[in-house]
């Protein structure tokens, strides 16, 4: 598989939805496969909240394969033998694109909490500038899960790019009140301390909303953690150890200011229903029956809204395996629905 990693640098100011300007910015992105002569075989993949541009494969500098490696590659669901696949790290993230941990050239210090408020529309505005630099004006397929699904909703409603198909997985077209409160509590935890413990606990709280009770029961039952493998003395159950382990793992790769920035962007995303008439894309909406974060009824509500406006939309509710995180794990049913839509 032809796997490349590039950095797009823009020296032109980006006017954000808040009215603030980023005088310049970088976007890091990975590509898979080859762009054809007519430049119409592009699949644009949007990552989720804690994801990155590294969607598949493994370059020499990478410790692990990408987060959707079972989906992307030769003869896989998103086939690199036929398609040119692009995955871009969003502005404000902490994996190489300009964000809170980046150097603010005007102060010669990291932006930190002073990084400007950013939105889903801002992310896509920056991405469209990158695509323009590559002379790409046609997206054959845009795909995103969770936060990335919100970006697909936005980009298929834009007039300045031709998106032929869109797949939206486990997302919502407007914020849920419980999610707003959950994110508020997580940001409040981050304000309690500057050390890594605050970020660890905030992530543990969010992780609970990503999984399901059935997954926990099936994997852990009520098994107690052994003394030798306990992460901390107060842990009793294997499930607690699992959550603590993932919290500690998260701290090593993520930034607390990015955490706050991106949860606010999710809380403030409202799909502009007046732009539904702009949508010419064929749309597939996928939800999971055990998703607590973005339940099936939310996706069904968006589907009905699209159908009412004449959009070629279909909705499938899939059997979940991990709650909201089910989008990361390819089942037979999941693969079938994706491939059926791609080949339609």
Task: Identify whether 246 is a catalytic site residue.
Answer: no
312 phi-psi bin (left φ>0, alpha ψ -120 to 50, beta other): beta
Question: Known catalytic residue: 97?
Answer: no
Q: How much of the chain is helix, strand and coil, in % rounded to 5?
A: 35, 20, 45
Kindly state the tokens that stand for 320: 């979940």
| Strand residues in the chain grouped as ranges (E) | 3-10, 14-15, 21-22, 25-32, 42-46, 72-73, 78-79, 84-88, 103-104, 109-110, 138-139, 141-145, 162-163, 165-169, 282-288, 313-318
Query: For residues 211 and 70, what is the distance between their CA atoms, to the nearest angstrom?
Result: 20
Q: Residues 199-212: pLDDT tens digits?
A: 999 999 999 999 99
| Mean per-residue pLDDT, 116-132 | 97
pLDDT grade for 197, boundaries at 50, 70 and 90: very high
Which is catalytic among the residues 255, 291, 298, 325? 291
Q: pLDDT at position 106, please?
A: 86
Mean pLDDT value across the chain: 96
pLDDT of 307 strictly over 90: yes
> In 3-state terms, what secondary structure has residue 86?
strand
Phi, psi of 173, deg, nearest 5: -90, -5
Q: Specify the pTM.
A: 0.96
pLDDT band at 2 (very low <50, low <70, confident <90, very high): very high
> Mean per-residue pLDDT for 283-298?
97
Predicted confidence (pLDDT) at residue 6 exceeds the cutoff of 80: yes
5 confidence band (pLDDT: 50, 70, 90): very high
For residue 69, count CB atoms less than 10 angstroms from its CB and return exposed for 0-12, middle for 13-18, buried for 19 or more.
Answer: middle
Average of per-residue pLDDT across 27-52: 97
Asked if 106 is an active-site residue, the reply is no
pLDDT of residue 130: 98
* Cα–Cα distance for residue pair 172/271, rounded to 1 Å: 9
Residue 193 confidence (pLDDT): 81
Query: Of the listed 146, 209, 239, 260, which one is catalytic?
Result: 146
- Choice among 97, 324, 325, 326 that is catalytic: 324
CA distance 212 to 201: 19
Number of other residues whose CB lies within 10 A of the CB of residue 173: 22
């Amino acid at each position: 598989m032809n796997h490349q990693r590039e950095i797009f640098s823009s020296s032109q100011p980006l006017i954000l939805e808040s009215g603030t300007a980023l005088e310049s910015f970088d976007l890091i992105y990975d590509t898979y496969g080859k762009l054809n002569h007519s430049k119409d075989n592009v699949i644009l993949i949007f990552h989720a909240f804690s994801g990155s541009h590294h969607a598949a494969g493994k370059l020499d500098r990478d410790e692990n394969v990408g987060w959707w490696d079972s989906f992307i590659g030769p003869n896989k669901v998103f086939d690199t033998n036929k398609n040119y696949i692009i995955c871009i790290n969003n502005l404000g993230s902490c994996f190489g694109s300009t964000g809170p941990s980046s150097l603010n050239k005007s102060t010669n210090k990291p932006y930190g909490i002073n990084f400007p408020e950013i939105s889903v529309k801002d992310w896509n505005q920056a991405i469209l500038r990158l695509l323009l630099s590559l002379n790409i004006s046609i997206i054959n397929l845009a795909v995103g899960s969770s936060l990335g699904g919100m970006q697909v909703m936005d980009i298929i409603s834009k007039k300045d790019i031709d998106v032929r198909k869109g797949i939206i997985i486990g997302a919502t077209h407007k914020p849920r009140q419980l999610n707003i409160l959950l994110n508020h509590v997580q940001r409040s935890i981050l304000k309690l301390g500057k050390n890594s413990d605050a970020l660890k606990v905030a992530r543990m709280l969010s992780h609970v909303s990503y999984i399901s009770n059935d997954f926990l029961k099936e994997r852990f039952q009520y098994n107690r953690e052994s003394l030798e493998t306990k992460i901390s003395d107060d842990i009793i159950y294997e499930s607690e150890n699992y959550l603590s382990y993932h919290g500690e793992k998260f701290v090593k790769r993520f930034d607390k200011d990015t955490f706050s920035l991106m949860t606010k962007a999710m809380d403030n995303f409202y799909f502009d229903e007046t732009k539904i008439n702009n949508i010419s894309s064929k749309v597939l909406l996928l939800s999971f029956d055990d998703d607590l974060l973005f339940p099936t009824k939310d996706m069904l509500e968006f589907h009905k809204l699209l159908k009412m406006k004449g959009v070629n939309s279909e909705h499938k509710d899939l059997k979940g395996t991990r709650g909201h995180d089910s989008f990361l794990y390819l089942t037979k049913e999941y693969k079938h629905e994706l491939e059926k839509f791609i080949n339609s």
